[in-house]
């Protein structure tokens, strides 16, 4: 048995409620085993696992390949219910704590009682045999062994405790078996420490000698076996993409024989949709020319007709070909406007292949579009889908950004969404040291706040509080805004607290924190306070009254961190990407990374992003769309766009300082430059370029890695790689240099003129009445002066 350690990667995901009854689990396991046995008995099926860490353990079985009947009629016998790849031997998956941002290089528990929560997922392709939690720790020598211990809980159930009795400097080890029945799709490990430095009484709960450190090489060890994967679109994006995977999902696109607008647009939109589905989870994407280049467990996406993807003629697919035309289940040619989606194993039965095709390029694009539209793909099932009709999803309003503040200036807390995309309800927190209630308070990127923003907090709290030390505090991004003493002896029901929100502090990534600091009226010495009777509630009818107008100062790459302005509207219908006439693999990969990032930054029912080669970009699109142009300097698709703004690509890579000018050879930096579009002052142009393919690869890392992308600012960024010995996925592997080369200007208000007028007037409503009277008097005076001229002329 080989032991494989996963690559370093942030793996602890947000906690979701996903519990099931044991009886349901046993029934599902029994049905899965029964189905697996029947399939093995009926055909020379092959088993599959998608665990990349087991690839070296692959043992090819002696099985006969799947064959179709001579008639080729697709039916249940020719469409296998399970993708069975070559089975891999059982192995281990080691999940180290240092992959969690909560742990990092150290994790300390302090005070009389402290705990830390770590979360992990269970991939769908795993059949877990056993799970162990291996803790390595050290603690303060001042701890009293009989009254100090470390406890581990998994999904709320205790799996073991260990006394904190090690001599000074000695590292402790503890291994706990986790019952398989406790595991769920989303799991939580709680490490709790009870610490005392006296056999009778710990006087000071904040004594610095009360500490225990969990070492970052602590780990969770899984003994597991692969599980067959069902070929079925009803669980899409699985099995193409597993959102429960602990390792990056690996995806490959098969390059067509000729790259055209149909393939570029379809591949870009598909990658954007995966970015939306992945959210914060990483995806490893690459391009291949042959199916045999795939790695075991890698997923292959084939987009196009048989003319552009000749490999389709050699794959074992459930539908037959007659010449270059696809036939349906009745052996009749499929109509030219019908898209075809198929899931099938690769020829070596080690990878999964998704085919989006048709008898015309438009039909293949329609097949991809079906997977992009969430309402449509929910009705998909089976391993073959024929897309005949596809509903056109209306484009949302440019300022309709899900997850951000409503466009209305007055709204309530229940109008905002939690991290689980559900409306806020009344939120109650308990205990004297409860964490704050956190609310996403994300301003729209083009919001400019005026004076007079108010939060009317509706709250309640219970009795038995110490009125001298209990407090309600409101913070914005950690900055205290206001506080109120909780001094009612019998508690308060539906209290109101008015808080002024600073107009210059509300950002597109802001968070409101509401903290109840609750102290009991009586504290017992030498004992942990029993404080769960202390509670505070924030009510869903908490209201907000904002004063704002809509404008943005551009160019500014910092706004690109939230997708603005390219993600307005959120279906990306006002954004186009331009490539060189014959893009190379590095430029195509950059296209996919940019598309994926735009997908992560937007939410909509559809994706309408368009991609063009340089000579195919319509003049109308230049005028009406935000443009992203990418390519090497010598092949840059739209060089005139930068020259017209006073910026020349020829001088882009020169270095100037204090009158000195140099040019380095070779220049391997990548450059991202944003300017106002020369064809429309209300649109933005983003250039992504470099002197060579190396610079283009640096830009791929810029859009792929969050640690680099969320540093963007100014209007120009230069990115270069550091020492090659540094891991490529580390932020220390690259150096970023930011420049502001053009003057920002206020532009791009997406609101119509009526909304702008109302916003302007709404900000100065106290001046509206006297201003109206003054204007009326002036008009009356002008009118009288004009009328008085006529009598004087008649007398003459």
Q: What pLDDT, on the 0 to 100 scale, is given for residue 778?
A: 84
Q: How far apart are CA 782 and CA 764, in angstroms?
A: 26
The CATH code for residues 236-387 is 3.30.379.10
C-alpha radius of gyration, the chain, whole number: 31
Bridge partners, residue 355, by sequence? 302, 342
Identical fold, 3-61+88-226 and 236-387: no
Express as a percent the part of the chain with pLDDT over 70: 80
Q: Which residues, 6 or more positions from 76, have their beta carbon under 8 angstroms from its beta carbon?
A: none
Cα–Cα distances in angstroms (integers) from residue 544 to residues 458, 478, 499, in the given order = 11, 19, 10
Cα–Cα distances in angstroms (integers) from residue 426 to residues 62, 331, 517, 537, 661, in the given order = 60, 59, 18, 7, 63
Q: How far apart are CA 161 and CA 175, in angstroms?
A: 10
Cα–Cα distances in angstroms (integers) from residue 72 to residues 75, 318, 332, in the given order = 9, 8, 12
Q: Which residues, 6 or more positions from 325, have their beta carbon under 8 angstroms from its beta carbon?
A: 333, 334, 359
DSSP class of residue 718 equals E
Q: How far apart are CA 544 and CA 541, in angstroms?
A: 10
Confidence of residue 26 (pLDDT cuts 50, 70, 90): very low
Cα–Cα distances in angstroms (integers) from residue 270 to residues 118, 274, 291, 308, 601, in the given order = 32, 6, 19, 18, 15
Range among 106-115, 453-462, 662-671 with highest mean pLDDT value? 453-462
Q: Which residues, 6 or more positions from 28, have their beta carbon under 8 angstroms from its beta carbon?
A: none
- For the CA atoms of 358, 363, 367, 373, the dihedral, rounded to the nearest 10 degrees, stands at 180
What's the rounded mean pLDDT across residues 80-92?
57
Which CATH superfamily is 433-519 part of? Galactose-binding domain-like (2.60.120.260)
φ, ψ dihedrals at 332, nearest 5°: -105, 145
What's the rounded mean pLDDT across residues 173-189?
94
Tell which CATH classification among 3.30.230, 3.30.379, 3.30.450, 3.90.1070 matches the domain 554-747.
3.30.379
Q: Where are the domains of the chain?
A: 3-61+88-226, 236-387, 433-519, 554-747, 753-795
Tell which CATH classification among 2.60.120.260, 2.40.30.10, 3.30.70.260, 2.40.30.110 matches the domain 3-61+88-226.
2.60.120.260
Cα–Cα distances in angstroms (integers) from residue 476 to residues 414, 436, 455, 599, in the given order = 19, 12, 11, 28
Q: Which of 731, 750, 760 is nearest to 8 (CA)?
A: 731
More confident residue, 95 or 747: 95
Q: How far apart are CA 534 and CA 431, in angstroms?
A: 5
What's the rounded mean pLDDT across residues 506-528?
83
pLDDT one-digit tens code per residue, 404-422: 999 999 999 999 999 888 9
pLDDT one-digit tens code per residue, 191-250: 999 999 988 888 787 889 999 999 999 999 998 888 878 888 999 999 999 999 988 999
**Please, what is the angle between helix 261-278 and helix 585-600, to 10°?**
40
């Amino acid at each position: 048995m080989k032991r494989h350690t996963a690559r370093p990667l942030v793996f602890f995901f947000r906690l979701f409620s996903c519990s099931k009854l044991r009886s349901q689990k046993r029934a599902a396991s029994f049905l899965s085993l029964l189905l697996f046995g029947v399939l093995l008995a009926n055909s020379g099926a092959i088993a599959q696992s998608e665990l990349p860490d087991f690839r070296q353990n692959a043992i090819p079985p002696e099985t006969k390949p799947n064959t179709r009947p001579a008639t080729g009629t697709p039916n249940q016998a020719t469409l296998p219910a399970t993708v069975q790849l070559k089975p891999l031997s059982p192995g281990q998956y080691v999940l180290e704590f240092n992959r969690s941002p909560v742990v990092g290089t150290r994790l300390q528990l302090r005070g009389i009682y402290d705990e830390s929560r770590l979360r992990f997922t269970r991939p769908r392709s795993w059949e877990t045999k056993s799970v162990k939690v291996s803790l390595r720790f050290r603690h303060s020598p001042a701890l009293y062994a009989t009254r100090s211990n470390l406890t581990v809980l998994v999904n709320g159930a205790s799996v073991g405790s260990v006394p904190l009795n090690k001599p000074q400097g000695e590292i402790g080890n503890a291994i706990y078996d986790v019952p398989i029945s406790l595991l769920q799709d989303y799991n939580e490990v709680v490490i709790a420490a009870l610490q005392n430095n006296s056999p009778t009484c710990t006087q000071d709960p904040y004594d610095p000698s009360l500490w225990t450190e969990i070492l970052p090489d602590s780990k969770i060890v899984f003994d597991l076996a692969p599980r067959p994967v069902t070929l079925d679109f009803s669980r899409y994006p699985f099995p193409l993409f597993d959102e429960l995977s602990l390792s990056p999902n690996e995806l490959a696109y098969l390059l067509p024989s000729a790259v055209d607008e149909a393939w570029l647009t379809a591949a870009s939109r598909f990658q954007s949709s995966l970015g939306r589905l992945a959210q914060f989870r990483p995806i490893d994407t690459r391009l291949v020319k042959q199916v045999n280049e795939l790695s075991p467990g890698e997923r292959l996406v084939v987009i196009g007709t048989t003319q552009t993807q000749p490999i389709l003629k050699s794959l074992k697919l459930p539908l037959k070909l007659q010449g270059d035309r696809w036939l349906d289940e009745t052996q009749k040619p499929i109509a030219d406007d019908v898209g075809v989606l198929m899931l099938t194993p690769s020829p070596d039965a080690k990878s999964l292949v998704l085919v989006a095709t048709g008898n015309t390029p438009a039909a293949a694009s329609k097949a991809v579009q079906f997977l992009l539209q969430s309402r449509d793909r929910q009705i998909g099932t089976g391993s073959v889908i024929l897309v005949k009709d596809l509903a056109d999803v209306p484009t949302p309003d440019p300022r309709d950004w899900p997850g951000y503040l409503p466009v209305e200036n007055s709204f309530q807390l229940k109008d905002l969404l939690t991290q689980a995309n559900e409306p806020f309800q009344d939120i109650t927190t308990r205990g004297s040291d409860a964490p704050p209630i956190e609310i996403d308070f994300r301003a729209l990127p083009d919001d400019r706040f005026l004076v007079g923003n108010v939060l009317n907090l509706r709250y309640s709290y219970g009795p038995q509080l110490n009125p001298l030390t209990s407090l309600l505090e409101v913070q914005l991004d950690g900055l205290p805004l206001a506080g109120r003493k909780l001094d009612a002896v019998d508690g308060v029901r539906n209290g109101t607290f008015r808080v002024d929100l600073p107009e210059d502090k509300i950002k597109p990534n802001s968070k409101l924190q509401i903290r109840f600091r609750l102290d009991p009226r009586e504290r017992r010495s030498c004992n942990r306070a029993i404080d769960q009777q202390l509670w505070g509630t924030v009510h869903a009818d908490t209201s907000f009254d904002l004063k704002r107008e809509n404008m943005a100062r551009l160019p500014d790459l910092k706004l690109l961190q939230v997708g603005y302005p390219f993600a307005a509207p959120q279906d990306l219908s006002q954004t186009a990407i331009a490539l060189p006439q014959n893009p190379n693999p590095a430029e195509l990969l950059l296209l996919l990374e940019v598309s994926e990032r735009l997908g992560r930054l937007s939410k909509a029912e559809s994706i309408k992003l368009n991609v063009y080669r340089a000579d195919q970009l319509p003049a109308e699109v230049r005028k009406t769309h935000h443009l992203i142009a990418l390519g090497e300097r010598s092949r840059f698709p739209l060089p005139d766009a930068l020259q017209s703004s006073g910026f020349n690509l020829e001088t882009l890579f020169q270095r100037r300082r204090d009158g000195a000018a140099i040019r380095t050879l070779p220049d391997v930096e990548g450059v991202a430059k944003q300017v106002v579009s020369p064809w429309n002052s209300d649109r933005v142009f983003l250039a992504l370029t470099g002197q060579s393919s190396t610079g283009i690869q640096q830009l791929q890392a810029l859009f792929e890695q969050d640690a680099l992308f969320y540093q963007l600012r100014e209007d120009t960024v230069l990115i270069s790689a550091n020492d090659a010995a540094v891991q490529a996925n580390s932020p220390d592997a690259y150096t970023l240099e930011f420049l502001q080369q053009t003057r920002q200007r206020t532009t791009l208000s997406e609101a119509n003129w009526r909304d702008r007028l109302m916003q302007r007037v709404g900000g100065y409503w106290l001046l509206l009445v006297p201003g109206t009277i003054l204007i009326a008097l002036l008009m009356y005076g002008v009118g009288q002066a004009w009328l008085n001229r006529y009598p004087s002329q008649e007398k003459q």
